[in-house]
């Protein structure tokens, strides 16, 4: 159920035999594989936060519309919406489409990948 | 100028060569005095004679008429340019390059200015193969930037050079950025010369200043590593996208390992430096050039060359003799130890694309 997921937090669930990290961020839900594509670190034990960007050296800007997950093992960061690693968008973690049913259940489809909002 | 027929080793490339690191010395301290404000004369004369690592010099490079190695243009011609077929040599002001090791920022700045004016007057005639490096003292970066804008007006000053780090921060630190801003404004690359062990400035090596010459010579590479890494991490190339960094006398064999480690570390530390937009090794290829002396590629170590190829050595290495310094082997030995296909770039092309040659303008 949606109320089982706290805003700004990650929760680990097993779905169809897969370990999935589920994130509630604002009004959105995200689901990614719990296994970091780098060396298999548990992403659910990593850090969740807004995307960190910069227009110039010494300045840091946060984008709360782009939730980012960083692995607790080696710090690799992933965009939750696309699964792409922030240092190279060719490298990514598996994402899953997730939605909330009318009765409040959180539904996950492990057969497909999440589509970015712009593509939906 | 045609390349000399007697030149060894580089059979696959017989065109003219650009030498990116030659040291020009004053014949005596008196030669500098006309360029130095009189209030600093006594300080300079006290310092002169103990700034130079004379034992590192080729003894035959000292003219019989007197003066230290590297002080006679005619010997540079007969011992270096003509035998190797070099038609352009980038000069730094010899042991004066360490004059900014003084703790006195005003004296250091005056010495840098004097060294630049002396180099222009003594060596950089219109018809010579010589080009100059603008020496700056970095104690006061805005003063250094002003000196770049002043001395950089001379068309034969083709880069900026520093050896001593007076600020005690990594070379890429924002405190130095006024220097890099001025260099980028004038289209001048910035050369960092390994060394800078003199005076009271912080040691360029980790763990404190070396006690022995052997330690100094072996560990000087750490200064080059410092410049390469911190120019990228501290966003110098993002601030000044046209800027090139040249690493002098820091060796080359360590590049593959350092860049692999740098890329690997960056992937997990991007959030600390979000202004770094690409892998560090990509910045290296686009912005950093590294000179060949000393090459650290002994005969039989072809695997080092294979690793260097992986990090783009063909596009980033530039020939340098380091004349009149002594080192293991001959400067052009490098030509026999790298692939023949690299030679046009390493011996000439990369340098032509890096320095601000007069024909390129500002």
The predicted complex's ipTM stands at 0.76
Inter-chain residue contact A87 with B174, CB threshold 8 Å: no
- pLDDT exceeds cutoff 60 at B148: yes
For CA atoms B334, B336, B341, B343, the dihedral sign is positive
**B 277-296 near A (Cβ less than 8 A):** 279
Contact list in A for residue B268 (CB cut-off 8 A) is 71, 74-76
Inter-chain residue contact B239 with A54, CB threshold 8 Å: no
What is the C-alpha R_g of chain B?
19
Q: Which of A34-38, B175-179, B299-303, B352-356 has the lowest mean pLDDT?
A: B299-303
Residues linked to residue B290 through DSSP beta bridges, in sequence order: B247, B317
User: Residue A87: closest CA among chain B residues belongs to which residue?
Assistant: B267
Contact list in A for residue B273 (CB cut-off 8 A) is 54
Our CA-based measurement puts residue B238 at a distance from the nearest CA of chain A, in whole angstroms, of: 7
* H/E element, B88: strand B86-92
Per-residue confidence band for B46, with pLDDT thresholds at 50, 70 and 90? low
Give the full edge-to-edge strand order of the sheet including B17-23.
B17-23, B86-92, B130-135, B157-162, B190-193, B245-248, B288-291, B317-318
d(CA B37, CA A14): 78
Per-residue confidence band for B51, with pLDDT thresholds at 50, 70 and 90? very low
Task: Quick: pLDDT tens for B56-72.
Answer: 777 788 888 888 888 89
Inter-chain residue contact B235 with A56, CB threshold 8 Å: yes
Our CA-based measurement puts residue A77 at a distance from the nearest CA of chain B, in whole angstroms, of: 7
- pLDDT exceeds cutoff 50 at B53: no
Contact list in B for residue A75 (CB cut-off 8 A) is 267-271
How confident is the model at residue A120, as a pLDDT? Answer: 34
d(CA A37, CA A39): 6
Residue stretches of chain A with pLDDT short of 50: 118-120
- The angle subtended at Cα B283 by Cα B282 and Cα B285, nearest 5°, is 65
Per-residue confidence band for B38, with pLDDT thresholds at 50, 70 and 90? confident
How confident is the model at residue B54, as a pLDDT? Answer: 52
Per-residue confidence band for B199, with pLDDT thresholds at 50, 70 and 90? low
- Mean pLDDT, residues B291-317: 88
Q: Are B5 and B84 in contact (CB under 8 A)?
A: no
Per-residue confidence band for B205, with pLDDT thresholds at 50, 70 and 90? confident
How confident is the model at residue B52, as a pLDDT? Answer: 46
Nearest Cβ partner for B266 among A38, A58, A87? A87
pTM, to two decimals: 0.86
Contact list in B for residue A92 (CB cut-off 8 A) is none
Burial of A19 (0-12, 13-18, 19+ CB in 10 A): middle
Inter-chain residue contact A52 with B267, CB threshold 8 Å: no
- Mean pLDDT, residues B243-262: 95
- Mean pLDDT, residues B127-132: 95
- Mean pLDDT, residues B288-309: 87
Task: Quick: pLDDT tens for B321-335.
Answer: 999 987 767 888 888
Give the full edge-to-edge strand order of the sheet including A88-92.
A47-53, A61-70, A77-79, A84-85, A88-92
Q: Is B269 on the interface with A (CB under 8 A)?
A: yes
User: E-assigned strands of chain A?
Assistant: 9-15, 18-25, 28-33, 47-53, 61-70, 77-79, 84-85, 88-92, 95-96, 98-100, 106-108
d(CA B282, CA B273): 15
Which pair of structure tokens corresponds to residue A7? 């805003």
Q: Are A69 and A32 in contact (CB under 8 A)?
A: yes
Write down the residue that tokens 């000069």 correspond to: B91
Our CA-based measurement puts residue A61 at a distance from the nearest CA of chain B, in whole angstroms, of: 9
Q: Is B268 on the interface with A (CB under 8 A)?
A: yes
- Mean pLDDT, residues B287-294: 92
Inter-chain residue contact A57 with B236, CB threshold 8 Å: yes
Q: Which has the higher per-residue pLDDT, A110 or B262?
A: B262
d(CA B63, CA B196): 27
- What is the percentage of chain B residues whose pLDDT exceeds 70? 92
- pLDDT exceeds cutoff 80 at B230: yes
Inter-chain residue contact B269 with A55, CB threshold 8 Å: no
Task: Quick: pLDDT tens for B207-218.
Answer: 888 888 788 888
- pLDDT exceeds cutoff 70 at B3: no
Q: Is B243 on the interface with A (CB under 8 A)?
A: no
User: Residue A70: closest CA among chain B residues belongs to which residue?
Assistant: B268
DSSP 8-state code for residue B100: G
Is it true that the peptide bond before A73 is cis, omega within 30 degrees of 0?
A: no
Q: Which has the higher per-residue pLDDT, B53 or B357?
A: B357
- Mean pLDDT, residues B283-298: 90
Q: Which has the higher per-residue pLDDT, B55 or B306?
A: B306
Q: Are B25 and B69 in contact (CB under 8 A)?
A: yes
d(CA B31, CA B70): 14
- pLDDT exceeds cutoff 70 at B4: no
Phi, psi of A35 (to 5 degrees): -100, 120
d(CA B112, CA B134): 8
Per-residue confidence band for B280, with pLDDT thresholds at 50, 70 and 90? very high
């Amino acid at each position: 159920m949606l109320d089982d997921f706290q805003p700004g937090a990650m929760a680990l669930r097993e779905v169809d035999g897969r370990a999935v990290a589920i994130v509630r961020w604002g009004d959105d839900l995200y689901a990614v594989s719990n296994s970091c594509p780098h060396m298999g670190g548990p992403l659910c034990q990593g850090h969740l936060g807004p995307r960190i960007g910069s227009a110039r050296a010494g300045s840091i800007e946060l984008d709360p519309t782009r939730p980012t997950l960083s692995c607790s093992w080696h710090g690799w960061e992933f965009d939750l919406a696309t699964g792409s690693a922030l240092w190279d968008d060719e490298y990514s973690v598996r994402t899953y489409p997730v939605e909330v049913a009318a009765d409040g259940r959180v539904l996950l489809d492990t057969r497909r990948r999440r589509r970015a909002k712009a593509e939906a | 100028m045609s390349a000399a027929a007697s030149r060894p080793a580089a059979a696959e490339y017989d065109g003219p060569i650009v030498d990116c690191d030659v040291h020009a010395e004053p014949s005596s301290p008196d030669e500098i005095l006309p360029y130095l404000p009189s209030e600093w004369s006594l300080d300079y004369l006290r310092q002169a004679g103990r700034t130079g690592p004379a034992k590192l010099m080729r003894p035959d490079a000292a003219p019989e008429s007197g003066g230290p190695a590297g002080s006679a243009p005619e010997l540079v011609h007969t011992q270096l340019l003509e035998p190797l077929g070099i038609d352009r040599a980038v000069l730094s002001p010899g042991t004066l390059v360490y004059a900014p090791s003084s703790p006195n920022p005003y004296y250091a700045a005056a010495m840098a200015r004097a060294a630049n004016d002396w180099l222009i007057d003594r060596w950089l005639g219109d018809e010579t193969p010589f080009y100059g490096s603008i020496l700056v003292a970095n104690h006061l970066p805005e003063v250094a930037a002003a000196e770049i804008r002043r001395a950089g007006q001379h068309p034969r000053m083709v880069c900026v050079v520093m050896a001593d780090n007076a600020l005690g921060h990594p070379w890429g630190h924002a405190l130095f950025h006024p220097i890099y801003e001025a260099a980028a404004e004038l289209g001048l690359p910035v050369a960092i010369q390994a060394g800078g062990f003199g005076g009271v400035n912080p040691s360029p090596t980790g763990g404190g200043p070396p006690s022995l010459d052997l330690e100094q010579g072996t560990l000087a590479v750490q200064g080059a590593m410092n410049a390469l890494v911190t120019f990228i991490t501290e966003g110098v190339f993002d601030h000044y996208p046209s800027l090139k960094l040249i690493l002098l006398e820091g060796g080359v064999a360590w590049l593959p390992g350092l860049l692999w480690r740098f890329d690997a570390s960056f992937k997990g530390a991007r959030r600390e430096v979000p202004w770094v937009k690409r892998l560090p090794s990509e910045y290296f290829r686009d912005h950093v050039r590294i000179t060949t002396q000393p090459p650290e590629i002994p005969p039989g170590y072809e695997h080092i060359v294979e690793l260097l190829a992986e990090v783009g050595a063909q596009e980033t290495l530039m020939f340098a003799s380091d004349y009149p310094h002594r080192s293991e082997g001959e400067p052009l030995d490098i030509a026999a130890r790298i692939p023949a296909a690299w030679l046009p770039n390493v011996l000439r092309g990369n340098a032509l694309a890096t320095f601000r040659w007069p024909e390129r303008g500002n």
